[in-house]
Amino acid sequence: MAYQFTVPGKTLIGPGALALAENAVRELGTKALIVTGRHVSQNGIVKTLADHLDHWQIRYEIFSGITGEPSDEMIRAGIRAYEASSCDFLIGIGGGSPLDSAKAIAAFSVLKCSPAELMGKEIQGKFPPTVLIPTTAGTGSETTKFTIITDTRKNVKMLLKGDCLLPEVAIIDPELTLSAPRSITAATGMDALTHAVESYTSRKANPVTDLFAVSAVKRIFRYLPAAFQDGSDKKAREEMALAAYEAGICINNASVTLVHGMSRPIGALFHVPHGISNAMLIRECLAFAIDGCPERFAALARAAGAADEQTPDRTAALRFLDALETLCEALQIPTLETYGIDRKEFEAAMDKMAADALESGSPANTIREVTKEDILSIYRKLW
The pLDDT of residue 42 is: 76
d(CA 66, CA 331): 26
The pLDDT of residue 1 is: 81
Q: Give the number of C-alpha atoms closer than 13 A to the C-alpha of residue 47, restricted to the C-beta side.
A: 4
Residue-by-residue pLDDT tens, the chain, 383 positions: 888 899 999 999 999 999 999 999 999 999 999 999 987 877 799 999 999 999 999 999 999 999 989 999 999 999 999 999 999 999 999 999 999 999 999 999 999 999 999 998 999 999 999 999 999 999 999 999 999 999 999 988 999 999 999 999 999 999 999 999 999 999 999 999 999 999 999 999 999 999 999 999 999 999 999 999 999 999 999 999 999 999 999 999 999 999 999 999 999 999 999 999 999 999 999 999 999 999 999 999 999 999 999 999 999 999 999 999 999 999 999 999 999 999 999 999 999 999 999 999 999 999 999 999 999 999 999 99
Taking the CA atoms of 55, 80, 38 and 241 in sequence, report the sign of the dihedral they define: negative
The pLDDT of residue 194 is: 98
d(CA 218, CA 39): 30
The pLDDT of residue 3 is: 86
d(CA 290, CA 250): 19
d(CA 145, CA 309): 36
Q: How far is CA 116 from CA 72, 76, 184, 232, in A?
A: 8, 13, 28, 41
Strand pairing report for 146-151 and 130-134 = unpaired
d(CA 259, CA 194): 8
Residues 195 and 214 sit within 8 Å (Cβ to Cβ): no
Tabulate helix, strand, coil % of the chain (nearest 5).
60, 15, 30
Q: Could you tell me where the beta strands, DSSP code E, fall in the chain?
A: 10-13, 31-37, 59-66, 89-94, 130-134, 146-151, 156-161, 169-172
Residues 176 and 142 sit within 8 Å (Cβ to Cβ): no
Write down the pTM of the prediction.
Answer: 0.95
Residue 37 phi, psi dihedral angles, 5° rounding = -110, 170
Q: Where are the alpha helices (DSSP H) in 201-257?
A: 207-229, 234-254
Phi-psi region of 149 (alpha: psi -120 to 50; beta: other; left: phi over 0): beta
For 380, the 3-state DSSP assignment is helix
Cα end-to-end distance, the chain, whole Å: 42
d(CA 200, CA 297): 9
The pLDDT of residue 8 is: 96
The pLDDT of residue 120 is: 85
Decide: residue 111, CB within 10 A, 0-12 exposed, 13-18 middle, 19+ buried.
middle
Q: How far is CA 344 from CA 281, 328, 380, in A?
A: 18, 25, 11
d(CA 240, CA 137): 6
The pLDDT of residue 146 is: 96
Residue 61 phi, psi dihedral angles, 5° rounding = -130, 150
